[in-house]
């Protein structure tokens, strides 16, 4: 279990009280259980988790944390579950960043409502276990919310990352992971967000509105579609002759970068909360700067 971490005071202009990841102070520690991979075998081609070595590392980190007040625990690699319904290009960007070391974490599970989607296929062929949620006519193997929460706990998931997952996240899950669930949306929220704004519909609406700029938003997730606190955005100009497809492609390119940067910050405990509830990302190189 992680502890709430106090951080150095912010840059003078900000005058805010900050804390990091209060979420996991409240999350129960997961106990070691028999391999989850076996349970998800029907869904995953190869689903070997590096559970034993990691468990050892975590145990060591915890012991060290008790000695040095939490630094070692805060510095361990974070465990990520990515939720996907489609092609999964953001999932792939995050997974590759984790493998390359750009993100100090590991994708330990992919959750999907569409077991045949591109993201799930990629997960299976890369040894990431696939969990199907929720149950539906087309996915009768899906699990319940309670089982999902249990599964995430058993995988010792620190953060949930929505990457093109089209279902609303159940309240129970939002409450279990306060300030620990991110989503990416392909417009500059709060514009062009909410129920019904997904895929090309977003870009069509942007072009139809005459907006000159659009771009991706990474935000924390609450109980509603696209209303959680904004963490990061990138601006992408809307061109005179843009089609929804062209605009979507340019924005998707930026999504991969901004999502990886935000997840890297999350995994390095570089997200701080201004006292009015706005999350900020601390610069990796200068702890007095926010990006």
Could you list the residues that contact ligand GRF (CB under 6 A)?
Answer: 84, 86-90, 119, 163-164, 184-186, 216, 252, 255
Q: How many angstroms separate the CA atoms of 111 and 266, rounded? A: 20
Q: How far is the CB of 192 from ligand GRF (least distance, A)?
A: 11
Q: How far is the CB of 166 from ligand GRF (least distance, A)?
A: 8
Minimum CB distance to ligand GRF smaller for 21 or for 85:
85
Q: How far is the CB of 115 from ligand GRF (least distance, A)?
A: 15
Q: How far is the CB of 97 from ligand GRF (least distance, A)?
A: 13
70: its two tokens: 């939490």
Left if phi > 0, otherwise alpha if psi is -120 to 50, otherwise beta: which for 135?
Answer: beta
Tell me which residue has its CB nearest to ligand GRF.
164
Minimum CB distance to ligand GRF smaller for 47 or for 84:
84
256: its two tokens: 């991969």
Minimum CB distance to ligand GRF smaller for 141 or for 245:
245
- The catalytic residue positions are 185
Nearest to 24 by CA among 4, 40, 38: 4
Minimum CB distance to ligand GRF smaller for 21 or for 89:
89
- Which single residue is written with the structure tokens 């081609």? 45
Q: How many angstroms separate the CA atoms of 244 and 197, rounded? A: 13
Helix, coil or strand: residue 75:
coil
Left if phi > 0, otherwise alpha if psi is -120 to 50, otherwise beta: which for 285?
Answer: alpha
* Alpha-carbon 253 to chain mean position: 17
48: its two tokens: 């070997």
Q: What is the DSSP string of 103-152?
A: SSEEEEEEEES-TTSHHHHHHHHTT--EEE-S--SS-TT---HHHHHHHH
Q: How far is the CB of 199 from ligand GRF (least distance, A)?
A: 7
Minimum CB distance to ligand GRF smaller for 180 or for 233:
233
Helix, coil or strand: residue 108:
strand
């Amino acid at each position: 279990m992680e502890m709430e971490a106090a951080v150095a005071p912010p840059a003078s202009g900000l005058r805010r009280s900050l804390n990091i990841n209060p979420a996991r102070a409240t999350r129960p520690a997961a106990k070691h259980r028999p391999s989850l991979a076996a349970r998800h075998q029907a869904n995953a081609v190869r689903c070997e988790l590096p559970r034993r070595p990691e468990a050892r590392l975590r145990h060591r980190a915890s012991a060290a944390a008790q000695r040095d007040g939490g630094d070692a625990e805060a510095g361990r690699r974070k465990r990520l579950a990515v939720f996907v319904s489609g092609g999964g290009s953001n999932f792939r960007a995050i997974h590759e960043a984790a493998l390359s070391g750009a993100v100090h974490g590991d994708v330990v599970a992919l959750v999907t409502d569409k077991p045949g989607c591109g993201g799930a296929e990629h997960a299976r062929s890369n040894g990431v276990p696939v969990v199907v949620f929720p149950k539906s006519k087309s996915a009768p193997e899906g699990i319940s919310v309670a089982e999902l929460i249990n599964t995430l706990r058993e995988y010792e998931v620190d953060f949930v990352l929505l990457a093109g997952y089209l279902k609303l996240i159940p309240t129970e899950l939002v409450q279990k992971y306060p300030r620990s669930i991110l989503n990416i949306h392909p417009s500059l929220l709060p514009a062009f967000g909410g129920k019904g704004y997904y895929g090309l519909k977003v870009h069509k609406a942007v072009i139809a509105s005459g907006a000159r700029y659009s771009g991706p938003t990474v935000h924390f997730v609450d109980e509603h579609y696209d209303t959680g606190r904004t963490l990061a955005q990138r601006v992408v100009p809307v061109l005179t002759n843009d089609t929804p497809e062209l605009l979507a492609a340019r924005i998707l390119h930026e999504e991969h970068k901004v999502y990886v940067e935000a997840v890297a910050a999350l995994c390095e405990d570089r997200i701080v909360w201004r006292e009015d509830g706005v999350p900020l990302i601390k610069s990796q190189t200068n702890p007095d700067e926010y990006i």
